Structure 1
Amino acid sequence: MSAHFFSRRAFLRGVGVTMALPWMESLPVWGDATAAKVPGSQAPVRLGVLFCGNGFHSKEWWAKGEGKSMELGQVLAPLADLKEKMLFVRGLYNEQALKGNIHSSQTGNLLSGAPLAAGGDIRSGTSIDQFIAQTHGRSTKVPSLVLGCEKSNPSVHKNYSMIYSSHISWSSPTTPTPLELYPALAFDRLFKDGAQKGDKSVLDAVMADAQDFRKNVSAADQRKLDEYLDSVREIEVRIEQSGKQGELQGWRPTLDKPNIPRPPEGIPQNIAEHMRLMCDILVLGFQTDTTRVTTLKLNNDHSSLRFPHLGVDYMIHHLLSHSDSADWLKVNQFFVDQLAYIAKRLDGIQEGERTALDNSMLLFCSSMLNGNHDASQLPVVLLGGGGGKIQGGRVLDYLGKPNRKMCSLYLSMLDKCGIELKGFGDSTERLAEV
């Protein structure tokens, strides 16, 4: 996570809008040959965490082999084209998750390894995403983006607060990081300095500055700028159209009032479109270097989501997880497809000799292996090169080994971000193979 100062950063500015630009070879920010040895001259390492509650199909979550010949269980089929940039990690666990009960007590410390308070009290530990954001967040406009596709549940389940099931990102031991459920608000947080009245788009606000900037970069970077601006415009249009079509509940803050009635619970009606918009916003945040840390909670543990677009509308996610049915597999693949979509988008963004995926770490995980609440080993996939420091195309099996703590993985990932600690959570030992 290279420390950049705003004076060396390239931005487009307009009334009420600041938009960070993507990596460009002709700018002396990252990758400039004349500044190759200058701190901050390389593209930064980004962290994306995607969480899927209730585990996966018990017979189809597996991988074996290496490289292009790696074989994948059916749950991971959407990642078939990404085998060479993927680590399948087996056997890691959180010891504290085995000391409580199920669901909440297995989820609240997933990214921290911390002990959890019971009895309805709220106490966990600072999660790895927020630790990175607090260490390097001053380098970007938005220290971290925490997105969700299912609202938080404030109830209590088996003596543990369901806040633990609803939040994997924690800013402090007693503070779950607030979730942004609305794509329009998440988009505005990336690109707007404050409330802006009217319907003027982000791109309209910065277009004059973009035209002036375009004159001073190379032809290759002009094409990259055009592609980037097109991608911003595409998401703006999709958010606007989704609102007009009633597919998203909620409102856009750029309007004087909501264009549809605000629903009581704020959960999107079209979960497929909602997740895809959140994935696009994650990519844009990384592509523009507006943020380098994004956590996307696709659903809660003990989730109530339904999936009518898959033809699976007769049972909620949590209940589906208790049987290895064909419909459960179909839902699993839908979630993994979100990871594949993000990874492919990032892999299509060139940043010097590497892609944005090569400069990122995408951690895909759940708080239990399957719907029978097995937390003795956790499902973990890591995609991306961590700035050229992680070799993909491998299966790492830690089951039965003395060092198999999730926090050992986090220590290794923190190293890739330039943060070297003696310990994190319940571990003081790294995973040497990562």
Structure 2
Amino acid sequence: MKLNLDSLDRRRFLRGAGVALALPVFGSAVNLSAGTASEALAATGQSGTNGDSPRKVKRLGCFYFPDGVPMPLPEDPAYQDWSWFPHGNGTDFTYTKCMEVFQPLRDHVTVLSGFSHPAVRQVHGHSNADQFLTAAATGSDGPYKNSISLDQVYANHIGDQTRFSSLVLSTDGGTGTPRGTHTISFSRTGRAIPAEHRPKRVFDMLFVKRDADAARRLALSKSALDELLADAKTLRRDLASDDRERLDEYLDSVRQAEQRVEKAKRWVNTPLPTVESGGLDLDVSPEDPQRYVQTMFELVYLAFRTDSTRVATYQIGRENAFGISDRLARAVGFNLAHALSHETKQPGGWERFSTYCGFLNREFYRFASRLHDTPEPAGEGTMLDNTLLLFGSASSAFHLSQNYPIILAGGKAMGFKHGQFVNHAGSSAVGGLFDGVPEPWMREPAKDDQPLTKVFVTMLQQLGLEAESFAGQTGGLSELV
């Protein structure tokens, strides 16, 4: 007897421990109802140090900004001051005005040039954020499939040691759309993990006591998950092979939800950490862009400081000029951020674009400095010594998906060497004004970049994983350690 999908409770949405599940839609010959597929919400368990004795911790933070960076050509008078990339190579380099904010942290920062993901080097820059941490061949159009992001690889390894496996943030919130993502975090099946964008919601999740009914709701969630898995196993027998694959992928999400429920049960009676919120404006929005970005970075700092999580991502803005994040340029007196990348041929255009990128650099520097100035609560050195930070974009010059502007900071206690400009682009880096078709992304590169996955592999290795490859690319980058 074939199972009627209508017999499964379509209203079985599980609320509690960050779980919301419904069955996906299949095309097989069973009596189907028009259901709504939903992904398990972001990988958010529940956190703290669980009463264990202090131990050495390793944290990872990844931060993304859209629209690339200013890259005037060497013959342009703007090149000396307003280029994003430093001048020089190795330890013999000079920051430009766009980057000089990092000078006090020079010995804790490495700038990378000449790195990108091979599968997407000919993709238009408007589609880039999706693959920044995954290296997947997401493409500019056609069928879309993503893969697990760097942060979630580490979260899967370390996330059971803290209340929250990872903290996923963005300015625009949610998941966005394929090739227009609002999140840079993707699950093991390549599903976008929704990002939180409301500072008060993030603070409450991390530090405000939950209601006393949490344990009962967790028990109900576990019971409902067990029922859903039993129903799904029966359903699987009546599905065609392609739908079985979809169901198996879906069941992986259910199993992840199961793991989050079990983890939440372990933490439900553990007191939340106490922090002072007096200096935070938790009701701030991107309409006050500087304060908003500072608040989002401060929430990541507090999550790390209290060991609520050891993995965080923040997508500062989405690509292609959509979303409230495009208004962040108002922090430095301009209107829309994306427009600045198009207007560099106007008088003062390079300086304006560089000033906006300098604002982003300054806020990241402020965050890294907070970590540097805070002694490590769980060990030796500073929090920055035990926290690895990746800051960058998947575009460089106008819509160009090559030569990503990348900063790697922190992690000295993990063996990282800093105070260098690892410049694999050299003099072949594309830049200059946008002068019509073909756009830079359409042109053949003068030479191939190094795979950015080399950086990812080294990051994972120094974070403690036995990683030899990432997204099918093998090998690390010896210059970093």
TM-score in same-fold range (> 0.5): yes
Query: 1:15-41 deviations in whole A, cap 9, x for unaligned?
Result: xxx88479xxxx9833xxxxxxxxxx3
Measured at CA, do residues 102 and 90 of structure 1 come closer, stay the same or move farther in structure 2, by a change above 3 Å?
closer
| Aligned mate of 1:394, from 378, 401, 420 | 420
Q: Is 1:73–2:87 an aligned residue pair?
A: no
- Provide the C-alpha distance between the structure 1 equivalents of 2:139 and 2:422, rounded to a whole number of angstroms: 32
Q: Is 1:29–2:49 an aligned residue pair?
A: no
Matched to 1:317, the amino acid is A
Paired residues of 2:135 and 2:471 also in contact (CA < 8 A)? yes
Measured at CA, do residues 408 and 148 of structure 1 come closer, stay the same or move farther in structure 2, by a change above 3 Å?
same
- Provide the C-alpha distance between the structure 2 equivalents of 1:381 and 1:433, rounded to a whole number of angstroms: 14
Secondary structure of 2:280 counterpart = helix
- Provide the C-alpha distance between the structure 2 equivalents of 1:120 and 1:428, rounded to a whole number of angstroms: 27
Q: How many residues get paired?
A: 336
Q: Is 1:175–2:202 an aligned residue pair?
A: no
For residue 270 of structure 1, report the CA deviation from its aligned partner. 0.9
For residue 419 of structure 1, report the CA deviation from its aligned partner. 0.5
Measured at CA, do residues 430 and 19 of structure 1 come closer, stay the same or move farther in structure 2, by a change above 3 Å?
closer
Secondary structure of 1:395 counterpart = strand
Q: Is 1:49–2:74 an aligned residue pair?
A: no
Alignment of 1:279-290 (within 5 A): 279-290=297-308
Alignment correspondent of 1:11? none
Query: 1:329-381 deviations in whole A, cap 9, x for unaligned?
Result: 111111111110111000011124411001111101101112x1122211111
- Provide the C-alpha distance between the structure 2 equivalents of 1:19 and 1:28, rounded to a whole number of angstroms: 12
Paired residues of 1:403 and 1:429 also in contact (CA < 8 A)? no
Alignment of 1:79-158 (within 5 A): 79-104=102-127, 106-116=128-138, 119=141, 121-151=143-173, 154=176
Alignment correspondent of 2:358? 333
Q: Is 1:382–2:382 an aligned residue pair?
A: no
Q: Is 1:317–2:337 an aligned residue pair?
A: yes
- Provide the C-alpha distance between the structure 2 equivalents of 1:236 and 1:144, rounded to a whole number of angstroms: 25
Matched to 2:67, the amino acid is N
Alignment correspondent of 2:384? 357
Q: Which runs of 5+ in 1 are unaligned?
A: 1-17, 31-40, 156-160, 198-208, 211-227, 249-267
Secondary structure of 2:293 counterpart = helix
Query: 1:149-187 deviations in whole A, cap 9, x for unaligned?
Result: 1246846xxxxx3334x3321113441111100011111
- Provide the C-alpha distance between the structure 1 equivalents of 2:389 and 2:58, rounded to a whole number of angstroms: 11
Secondary structure of 1:346 counterpart = helix
Measured at CA, do residues 126 and 340 of structure 1 come closer, stay the same or move farther in structure 2, by a change above 3 Å?
same
Secondary structure of 1:172 counterpart = coil
Measured at CA, do residues 195 and 76 of structure 1 come closer, stay the same or move farther in structure 2, by a change above 3 Å?
farther
Matched to 1:115, the amino acid is A
Q: Which moved more, 1:392-401 or 1:353-362?
A: 392-401
Paired residues of 1:70 and 1:393 also in contact (CA < 8 A)? no
Measured at CA, do residues 136 and 388 of structure 1 come closer, stay the same or move farther in structure 2, by a change above 3 Å?
closer
Matched to 2:162, the amino acid is T
For residue 122 of structure 1, report the CA deviation from its aligned partner. 3.9
- Provide the C-alpha distance between the structure 2 equivalents of 1:342 and 1:309, rounded to a whole number of angstroms: 17
- Provide the C-alpha distance between the structure 1 equivalents of 2:118 and 2:339, rounded to a whole number of angstroms: 26
Alignment correspondent of 1:408? 454
- Provide the C-alpha distance between the structure 1 equivalents of 2:129 and 2:478, rounded to a whole number of angstroms: 26
Rg: which structure is higher?
A: 2
Measured at CA, do residues 355 and 110 of structure 1 come closer, stay the same or move farther in structure 2, by a change above 3 Å?
same
For residue 195 of structure 1, report the CA deviation from its aligned partner. 5.2
Q: Given the two structures, how large is their TM-score scaled by the length of structure 2?
A: 0.64
Paired residues of 1:46 and 1:386 also in contact (CA < 8 A)? no
Q: Which moved more, 1:272-281 or 1:397-406?
A: 397-406
Paired residues of 1:149 and 1:181 also in contact (CA < 8 A)? yes
Q: Given the two structures, how large is their TM-score scaled by the length of structure 1?
A: 0.71
- Provide the C-alpha distance between the structure 2 equivalents of 1:331 and 1:196, rounded to a whole number of angstroms: 46
- Provide the C-alpha distance between the structure 1 equivalents of 2:316 and 2:141, rounded to a whole number of angstroms: 27
Paired residues of 1:117 and 1:124 also in contact (CA < 8 A)? no
Measured at CA, do residues 65 and 119 of structure 1 come closer, stay the same or move farther in structure 2, by a change above 3 Å?
closer
Secondary structure of 1:56 counterpart = coil
- Provide the C-alpha distance between the structure 2 equivalents of 1:54 and 1:152, rounded to a whole number of angstroms: 20
Identical positions, percent: 24
- Provide the C-alpha distance between the structure 2 equivalents of 1:380 and 1:119, rounded to a whole number of angstroms: 26
